């Protein structure tokens, strides 16, 4: 049994903490928002009054927070109270620079550190089937691996501090671009009088095949079940895709990497969110592009 402090008990954090608890670990959670505290308590997660109380004596501290600024300020608050040589795992999706900074801060405090953002969404958090993309030393990764195995089905050691966040934003930049491309192909097919089922049959087994076509098709009643079959209820919300695309563009400009399609994808998801679709699944881009078709035609 390991003593684990879990800070940030929202949509992702609460079920992740619960899976660790079910596996026999002792969890002491913390969240600043009363509603999140209440629902974590209802799930049976014990809560600390303050983040410092949660981390004292813990072998592992896990963060699942909204962004880099919050992850940094929480880390600064708790580091001095953590057990020497214990492990800090930041599972939040944050910018690469902040992630690298967390590693620096932890090193100075004699704390092991991993950046370990996830893929798999709320369903993956509930089912314990997340994928972890992990940055940090090999020794720290080996300390964290048994816990990733409880919360997820795969963890990949991507490299040094920050490598997990880098992998996450590169993957999601490609996902955003491929989803928009997939939506465009299906909309064009429709206007050309081609059945979307026929196009799926072709693309899913041809050179256009990709996860957005094959596993998460944005057209209702085509391909395996996806949010398109449930009125685009998220799944993975457009606002979260926008967040990840924005992080990709921030990183790209810091290292001067040309990502013209990533930049364009970020702009389109910004427009989709600005049009009031922040909670809609990101595959709902197809409906947003359709409104553009109609606007441009009239
Ligand atoms: P969420 O908003 O539901 O949860 C974040 C929690 O952090 C909230 O309960 C909030 O009250 C809490 N919090 C904020 N400031 C705090 C502080 N100072 N101290 C303690 N708690 C604090 O968000 P989520 O959907 O659970 O996502 C968490 C992270 O996981 C984000 O970085 C997100 O980008 C990433 N992520 C989310 C998904 C998804 O599908 N929801 C998928 C992959 C990655």
Same domain, 226 and 88: no
Tell which of 160, 186, 202 closes a domain: 160
Q: pLDDT value at position 298?
A: 54
- Do 126 and 226 fall into the same domain? no
Judge if 275 and 195 occupy the same domain. yes
pLDDT reading at 250 higher than 90: yes
Q: Please write the tens of the pLDDT for every residue from 48-106.
A: 999 999 999 999 999 999 999 999 999 999 999 999 999 999 999 999 999 999 999 99
Q: Is the pLDDT of residue 248 over 80?
A: yes
Q: What is the pLDDT of residue 199?
A: 98
Range of the domain at 49: 3-160
| 156, 219: one domain | no
What amino acid positions are annotated as catalytic residues?
A: 168
Boundary (domain end) residue, out of 127, 160, 193: 160
Q: What is the pLDDT of residue 292?
A: 83
pLDDT value, residue 15: 98
Residues 192 and 132 in one domain: no
3-state DSSP percent of the chain in helix, strand and coil, to 5: 55, 15, 30
For the CA of 121, the closest atom of ligand 1 is: 40
Cα 18-21-24 angle, rounded to 5 deg: 155
Quick one: pLDDT band at residue 297, thresholds 50, 70, 90?
low
SS3 assignment, position 67: coil
- The domain total for the chain is 2
202, 104: one domain:
no
Nearest CA to ligand 1 atom 38: 121
**Cα(126) to centroid of ligand 1, in Å?**
14
Cα 14 to middle of ligand 1, angstroms: 10
Burial category of 103 from C-beta neighbours within 10 Å (exposed 0-12, middle 13-18, buried 19 and up): buried
The β-bridge partners of 184 are: none
Boundary (domain end) residue, out of 126, 160, 194: 160
Ligand 1 probe mutation, 6, 29, 31, 165, most atoms within 8 A of CB = 31
Task: Identify the residues whose C-beta falls under 6 Å from ligand 1.
Answer: 7-13, 30-33, 36, 51, 64-66, 70, 74, 92-93, 118, 121-122, 236, 240, 243
Q: How far away, in angstroms, is 66 Cα from ligand 1 center? A: 4
For residues 159-170, average pLDDT: 98
Residue nearest to atom 39 of ligand 1 (CA): 121
Claim to verify: residue 64 and residue 170 sit in the same structural domain: no
**Residue 238 contacts by C-beta under 8 Å, 6 or more apart in sequence?**
269, 272, 273, 277, 278, 279, 280, 281, 282, 284, 285
Tokens of 89: 């795992």
Looking at the structure, do residues 11 and 149 belong to the same domain, yes or no?
A: yes
């Amino acid at each position: 049994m390991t003593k684990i402090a879990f800070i940030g008990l929202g949509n992702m954090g609460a079920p992740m903490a619960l899976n660790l608890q079910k596996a026999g670990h002792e969890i002491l959670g913390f969240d600043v928002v009363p509603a999140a505290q209440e629902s974590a308590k209802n799930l049976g997660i014990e809560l600390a009054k303050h983040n410092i109380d949660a981390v004292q004596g813990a072998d592992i501290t896990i963060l699942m927070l909204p962004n880099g600024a919050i992850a940094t300020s929480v880390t600064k608050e708790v580091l001095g109270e953590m057990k020497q040589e214990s492990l800090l795992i930041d599972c939040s999706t944050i910018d690469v620079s902040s992630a690298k900074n967390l590693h620096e801060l932890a090193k100075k405090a004699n704390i092991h550190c991993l950046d370990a953002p996830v893929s798999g969404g709320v369903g993956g958090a509930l089912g314990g089937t997340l994928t972890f993309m992990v940055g940090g030393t090999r020794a720290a990764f080996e300390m964290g691996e048994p816990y990733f195995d409880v919360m997820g089905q795969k963890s990949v050691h991507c490299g040094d501090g920050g490598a997990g966040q880098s992998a996450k934003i590169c993957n999601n930049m490609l996902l955003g671009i491929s989803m928009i491309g997939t939506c465009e192909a299906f909309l064009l097919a429709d206007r050309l009088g081609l059945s979307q089922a026929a196009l799926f049959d072709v693309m899913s087994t041809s050179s256009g095949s990709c996860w957005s076509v094959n596993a998460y098709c944005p057209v209702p009643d085509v391909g395996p079940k996806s949010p398109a079959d449930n009125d685009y209820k998220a799944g993975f919300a457009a606002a979260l895709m926008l967040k990840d695309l924005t992080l990709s563009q921030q990183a790209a400009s810091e290292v001067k990497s040309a990502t013209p399609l990533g930049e364009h994808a970020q702009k389109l998801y910004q427009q989709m969110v600005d049009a009031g679709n922040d909670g809609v699944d990101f595959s709902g881009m197809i409906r947003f592009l359709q409104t553009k078709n109609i606007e441009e035609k009239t």
